[in-house]
Amino acid sequence: MRQEPRQALKTVKSRARANAFTYSQHAFELMVDSSIYEEDIKRAFSTARLVGVHYDGRTRTHYVLEGFGMDESALVLVCSLQRRLVEVVDLYWA
C-alpha cells in the first residue's frame, strides 16, 4: 500500500501505538543478533522521522524511519504498510 510520505508516517506511528506491527524473519534475526529489544522498536516508532521512501514495482513500498532506542541511540526501521499492520522488514543501529 503506497501513501503520501507524511500520511504514511502518521499511519505507521498510529499502528505502532496500537501494537499493530510485526517483523519479517530477517528483521527478527537482526533483533536477536544486534540486541535490539521491542522497547527500542516502540520508542523508535514514537520518535521517528521519515528519512526515505523506496519504491519497487515488484515488492511493496518501503518507508525508512529513523528514531531513537531506549538508550538514545539512533535506530533505523525499514517498514512496509500492510492492510492492518506495519511490517518491519529491516532494522539497524545508525
Per-residue pLDDT of the chain (94 residues; tens, 9 = 90+): 567 888 999 999 999 999 999 999 999 999 999 999 999 999 999 999 999 999 877 778 999 999 999 999 999 999 999 999 999 999 999 9
Domain that residue 57 falls in: 5-93
User: How many domains does the chain fold into?
Assistant: 1
Instruction: Dig out the grid coordinates for 55 from the structure.
Output: 519504491
| pLDDT the model gives residue 89 | 96
pTM: 0.92
* Residue listed under C-alpha cell 510485526: 22
Q: Which CATH number covers residue 25?
A: 3.30.2310
